[in-house]
Structure 1
Amino acid sequence: MPRTIIELQHVALLFCDREFPSATTIVLGGSASTGRRTPTSDIDLLLIAPPAAFDGQGGDATSVARVTHFDGERIDVFAYTVEGFTDWSERDFASLRPVLPILLTEGTPLRTGDEFDTLRGWAADRLERGPQVDDHARALRRYAITDLLDDLGDATDPLIIAALRSELFRGLAELSILAAGAWLGSGKWLARRLRAADPTAADALERFASELDPRAAAALASQLLERLGGRVDGDFVR
């Protein structure tokens, strides 16, 4: 029988007591904190701890990210000092996929240290501002999508068609999410963030993904691109 959220919280705390006993903040994230677990879901844990906690953990003096197993569960550990968390969060923001800030703000706190409110407030403020993407960066994405569309229209090799469709899906999904002023995700989180940010684009890409004929799929993708600013066909400085 799958564990309940309360049971998962208990496992997480037991793990932290064994591996990171000096952790001051412990946040349970992902599906383990929302009740959307599947049989293969892991436990996402964000920890804030003093530098001494990282001795012998396989990371550096301010952070360690590793996968381990405990009590029958696969645990994905994201452990940082305060400085390490802010540094890696800045990198996340720059990538437009702020995994750590979202984990901190949307996860379930199991233990909160003196730093918790400050870090969570800082992360929430940055997330609220949304991604900063200028017109040239958006045009560059449209340029790449235009190129993919042309390639898909000419492709006959099934393997190439599959690769182009995958890249087109990701490119159009990301452009739609950014156009809506939302942060990106990857994997299943790309689909979830797309559905939340732009349901119309999500429906269009679902039709695109379901269309077996590559020419018809390209036509569907072109329609969505037009809604997002259209093709970039003219002279363009990348």
Structure 2
Amino acid sequence: MNKDNPMEAAQKFIQKYFPSCNGALLAGSVVRGEGTDTSDLDIIIFDETVPSSYRESFIEFDWPIEVFVHNASSYKPFFETDRERAQPSMPRMVSEGIILSDDGVIEAIKKEASELLNEGPEKWSEETVQIKRYFLTDTLDDFVGCSNRAEEIFIANTLAELLSEFVLRTNCHWIGTSKWIVRSLKAFDEGFTNQFVEAFDTYYKTGDKREVIHLVGIVMEPFGGRLLEGFSLGK
């Protein structure tokens, strides 16, 4: 049996579980045209009668469904937390979401989300830049000096995350984790993203560290390069 298309399934879900909600959005990969065989439906519910926000998982209409339920104000702390950590998961879902139902509340919330996304994350302080530069240096040194392949792989993973964070945050861009590392980098600079992926791909395939080391050097050079001697924290 062929399952319903995302919009049809989402509409049926709303009618079954949240028929009296004030508004609902369908978000996630299916909305962006990036859905795969394992994609789920991300549905955001706004219902002024619920006492607090919650998240729940379902399998309905042959779809895995993740539902995020909020009242008229409970979404705001999530917006703020996402802004502080520079990972705008909730604002992005709201901004890109397709309206499933609305009694007049959605427009203002979508506007709030879009404005937050357009503003970008708060700029790193000079102290934060130095701290991040130090930990990036420390991880790079571990990577360069390691001769244990098993340990080296996981150091490389950490290095990739720290490097992507450093590039994006020093340029006042949103960051991401997992698949959103690459997506966030592409939103910043597709050319750099290709370099980034190629460098780490070469390392994982061949064990050759040179491209990764060179790339980290390029990124850190405008900030003074590696930082180790003289760094102090909490003194």
The two structures share one fold, judged by TM-score above 0.5? yes
Counterpart position of 1:204? 195
Q: Against the structure 1 CA distance between its residues 152 and 23, is the aligned structure 2 distance closer, same or farther, given a 3 Å change threshold?
A: same
Alignment of 1:59-78 (within 5 A): 61-78=51-68
Q: Against the structure 1 CA distance between its residues 38 and 2, is the aligned structure 2 distance closer, same or farther, given a 3 Å change threshold?
A: farther
Q: Against the structure 1 CA distance between its residues 218 and 184, is the aligned structure 2 distance closer, same or farther, given a 3 Å change threshold?
A: closer
- Residue 76 of structure 1 aligns to a residue in which SS? strand
Structure 1 vs Structure 2 CA RMSD: 2.0
Deviations 1:49-101 (A, max 9, x none): 1234xxxxxxxx31111221101100111111121111221111111111111
Counterpart position of 1:103? 93
Counterpart position of 2:34? 36
Distance 1:89 1:148 in 2: 31
Counterpart position of 1:58? none
Q: Percent identity of the aligned residues?
A: 22
Match for 2:177 among 186, 199, 204?
Answer: 186
Counterpart position of 2:112? 122
Once superposed, which parts of structure 1, at least 4 consecutive aligned residues long, lie more than 3 Å away?
A: 1-4
Q: Which amino acid aligns with 1:226?
A: M
Shift of 1:11: 0.7
Deviations 1:139-174 (A, max 9, x none): 222211100110011111222101110011111112
Q: Does 1:232 align with 2:227?
A: yes
Distance 1:14 1:180 in 2: 42
Q: Does 1:146 align with 2:146?
A: no
Counterpart position of 1:137? 128
Do 2:3 and 2:63's aligned partners in 1 also have CA atoms closer than 8 Å?
A: no
Do 2:25 and 2:45's aligned partners in 1 also have CA atoms closer than 8 Å?
A: yes
Q: Which amino acid aligns with 1:157?
A: N
Shift of 1:114: 2.4
Q: Against the structure 1 CA distance between its residues 228 and 111, is the aligned structure 2 distance closer, same or farther, given a 3 Å change threshold?
A: farther
Do 2:40 and 2:65's aligned partners in 1 also have CA atoms closer than 8 Å?
A: yes
Alignment size in residue pairs: 228
Distance 1:233 1:200 in 2: 29
Distance 2:79 2:2 in 1: 32
Tell me whether 17-26 or 40-49 shows the greater mean CA deviation.
Answer: 17-26
Shift of 1:225: 2.8
Q: Which amino acid aligns with 2:90?
A: L
Distance 1:65 1:206 in 2: 33
Q: Unaligned stretches of 5+ in structure 1? A: 53-60
Q: Which amino acid aligns with 2:6?
A: L
Do 2:43 and 2:66's aligned partners in 1 also have CA atoms closer than 8 Å?
A: yes
Shift of 1:42: 0.7
TM-score between both structures, scaled by the size of structure 2: 0.89
Q: Against the structure 1 CA distance between its residues 34 and 140, is the aligned structure 2 distance closer, same or farther, given a 3 Å change threshold?
A: same
